[in-house]
Chains A and B, each alone.
Chain A
């Protein structure tokens, strides 16, 4: 059984040294034979046992003797531990590729430790503070159940197959980080997507942006998306100043002449706009989001800025090639093992 451990150890050392590469090949031969229910004939196991026990026997004869006697049991124990940790590592890699974190699709797991993302960059969110517009229950997961999405700016492709609900905030660093990815996703799948953007103003002071946006969307959808993109591109420091936001609105209305900035500002300050804004906040509260970005792709929730592949995999139009490859490779290995175990017995 020691060959299983040797394969991993020498395999890693073999990257750097030719001597260990040879040992790794021997270990592979031994492991392959054991897996295919044949006898290991390389003698590597015997050499390793002798080498290991000898070094213990030299230092402490009693301990060495004990290790020599129970070497097979110890080898089994370490091999099982190693296989267990390999399986867990495999699951972590799969999760990282599939969900952008090591721990799987659950929302709580997405915040957990991940060796491939040690700084948790893929899981960072800008959280809602105490007494702010929205609050969340940490015991519940974010959900779109019962949420009236028709209250928010959105567009639909000609043949909708997937739905993306993007909860972001113009004044948040993590939203700005994920935004180019979401833009790319939305552009590449524009014909098959229903795309909803929900601006979650983490602070009361940014609520005016929602109201302007709502008025703009009702007035001219193209002007709204232009304004949306402009705010997403605006540096964080600038967006904190209302003047800059209004200037951006001004710029857009200069290009899209059907829209008048003064009318939009007037609209955003009236009672109807406030009413719609409050209705939106009520719906956002139903979602139970902890912060931004929170992105729903169909029913799967992603917390924090994930790589593009993670969102793509959740789309119904994308084939999960990674998963398919894993299944194919697994099946081929199984067939090969069975072939050698049945037809190539010595």
Chain B
């Protein structure tokens, strides 16, 4: 039945791509591993690994500082990577891409570089990852801003009505609306186009946490009209320790320097003055993660090759298979909208009476199925929903385009077995 469902839709030729991921060849106790923790970190294809290694083998130097051959080569690769990222996210220019350590650092950069006037507000949703909550709570604690959140609907979806209410309630005070594009909690994708329109009308800037969204749907900052978007490479088939904050030249001019040091200034004087470097280098303090940056761009090229639309459809399909399978198990409760279509490649659930960590460990120990359990860094949401069956966290299976329907069926079978223990 599940396979039939698959045949109805356009399917990615999964085996073709699977061979690019060496880790998928691993077997434990004679059984292949099943990786369903893609919301935490995607796997890396050989192409990315080789591209990052290329830096260490061929041009392991500094970009933008020295003028020898190796330095020029690395400078060229980094520039190409910046161009690739800019194109992938529809930035107005490569100069609008600031390389960061990860999505979290991008959000922190905005939080600390925007000039807030005391009393100004930042609005978030109630499902923000700690990365897009703690920076604002910290500023609030320091008395620099006020923070408020927009409560989700009963189905755990973003409420545009409540956003409007909040903006009305705090007219003229909301400086920034910072929301997640696709939630890592339940996979729900927020109506960001509408959020941006409404927020802009109210005079607020918009920052999008695109960590989850970027791996399965096209994000074009220009088309969306967003002011800032922040992404992580490790969720986009790229290396760890690199990400990007993408904006427009106009918006980046509004930011003050946050982290400073090498490469962020053109000149400095012992007497106290210094001249900031041009954008984007003025925001990239110290020596950068060149192999990461180069690999990041290669990851994006790989995703383009697979096709974001294809990935999106494939993940939806896998989620549909999983949702239909798990829905037949009485003790299983799924977090978020009932329809798998609305949850992209993420399926958060609990088995009533079974601690979530226990379920994930049993899945791992018995079936080599790797999922995540707990609060998924969205503690705020769980603490706000202590009266639900999800109060102690959830088990989260997050699919990747290299996952197969057979693997999803294996998950369903395993969850059924654990539920009956």
Mark A residues whose CB is within 8 Å of B. Answer: 43, 46-47, 49-51, 53-55, 57-58, 65, 68-69
Contact = CB atoms under 8 A, between A and B. Distances in A.
B61 interface: no
Contacts of A69: 421
Interface string B243-272: 000000000000000000000000000000
B156 interface: no
B224 interface: no
B50 interface: no
A53 B358 CA distance: 10
A46 B392 CA distance: 14
B357 A53 contact: no
A44 to B, nearest CB: 10
Contacts of B364: 50
Contacts of A47: 357, 361
B357 A43 contact: yes
Contacts of A58: 366
- A contact patch SS: helix
6 contacts: A46-B357, A46-B361, A50-B357, A50-B362, A50-B364, A55-B365
B355 interface: yes
Ranked nearest first, the 6 interchain pairs of A and B with the lowest CB-CB distance are: A50-B361, A54-B365, A46-B357, A68-B421, A46-B358, A54-B366
A57 B358 contact: no
B122 to A, nearest CB: 30
B410 to A, nearest CB: 16
A53 B361 CA distance: 10
A50 B364 CA distance: 9
A49 B421 CA distance: 13
A69 to B, nearest CB: 7
Contacts of B366: 54, 57-58
Given A54-B362, A54-B366, A46 B355 contact: yes
Given A46-B361, A50-B361, A68-B421, 14 more contacts: A43-B357, A46-B358, A47-B357, A50-B357, A50-B358, A50-B364, A53-B421, A54-B361, A54-B362, A54-B365, A54-B366, A55-B365, A58-B366, A65-B421
Contacts of B362: 50, 53-54
Contacts of A54: 361-362, 365-366
Contacts of B361: 46-47, 50-51, 54
Contact of A51 (B355, B357, B365, B421): B365
A47 B362 CA distance: 9
Contacts of B358: 46, 49-50
